Amino acid sequence: MEFKFDYDYIEKLTQTNGISGHEGAVAKLMHDELKDLCDEVLFDNLGSIIFVKKGPENAPKVMISAHLDQIGFIIADIDDKGFAFIKPIGGWWPAQLMTQDVCVTTEDGKEYPGVIGHKPSKELTQKAKIEFDDLFIDFGVKDKEELLGLGIQVGDPVTPVSAYKPLANPRYVATKAWDNRVGCAIISELLKNIQGQELPCTLYLAGTVQEEVGIRGAKTCAQIINPDVCISTDIGAYGDTPGCKSFDSTLKLGEGPSIAILDATAMGNKKFIKLAREVAKKNDIPYQTDVMLGGGTDTGEMHKAHDGAVPLTVSIATRYGHAHNSVIHLDDLENSVRLFAHLAKELTTEKVQDLKTFF
């Protein structure tokens, strides 16, 4: 089976703004790209989108999820001088943010650049750590009146700004929002690459919302689908830079997608893990194994819908995940698509029933 990948589209995925609760532009980009490649498009009432590729009648339902949202900020206050104070949407380390580029999107869709400013350095050096109340956005205006005149107001979403950058080895790419546009890219390229293939299952490829603030869209999508098995594809930890400890992560960029044993929100089904490993080996797809005590993915909610779904999480080792610039290896993205394409061929009615049987 020959696989092709559209990196112009993948770059657009990373550069489209869509923090939690504001994912509409990302969903529209995927809808316009994929709507003619599937049999049906479904939506939940939160903003998630589901692309359905039908298999035989009464085929098992296989849900593969990638969340649309990225981390960002919300404007919480504006002072008389026109400086905007922010609160985080998703997990941030404030010390990473000083002087970084951001973009605010107003209620009528206009975008304005800004820079994250901070209190004087002399004052900050006396503190044990940087907090969000030490930071603000400098939009380059004279006062509050000028800022409000642009349509910028409390409640507007603020998104990190970072270009798509192939590094010295261009298979390593840095950009914003790999969490989780890499997952969005994987389910998109999967749908493109299975065109003309007969599958024994019905695939539900879900772009879910609000994962970063509570795994919310995954829950509503799984209620709609009622899957037999569910897989989340997301970023994973990394353990291949200076200072990393193997206890925290053994994952390395470029050595294949990670098949998770467990995380803080879900335990992988042991039969499903074994099947995924067997499929990878049979098709010469490199893979890694991860045991993560913290963090979670869409799997945490998907596998609890109705009477439960057989769970699996497949992640991409990603350096500096919750930051303006994250780094992945494109081999891992491509090999994830290959793994899912071959795995889908194995998910027959009989095999899925076996996965559901524990003794």
Classified as helix, coil or strand, 309 is: coil
Instruction: Quote the CA–CA distance of 177 and 234 in Å, as a whole number.
Output: 11
| φ, ψ at 253 (rounded to 5°) | -65, 135
- Please state, in angstroms and rounded to a whole number, the distance separating the CA atoms of residues 213 and 323: 16
- H/E segment holding residue 51: strand 49-53
Structure token pair of residue 193: 């690459």
Q: What is the DSSP letter of 270?
A: H
Q: How far apart are the first and last CA of the chain?
A: 35
Phi first, then psi: give them for residue 316, nearest 5 degrees. Answer: -110, 120
Strand partners, 321: none
Under 8 Å between Cβ of 112 and 104: yes
Name the phi and psi angles at 311, rounded to 5: -100, 150
211 a catalytic residue: yes
Q: From the candidates 23, 189, 211, 334, give the one annotated as an active-site residue.
A: 211
Beta strands in 215-341 (DSSP E): 229-236, 258-262, 288-291, 310-317, 326-329
Distance CA 22, CA 337 (A): 27
> Hey, which residues are catalytic here?
211
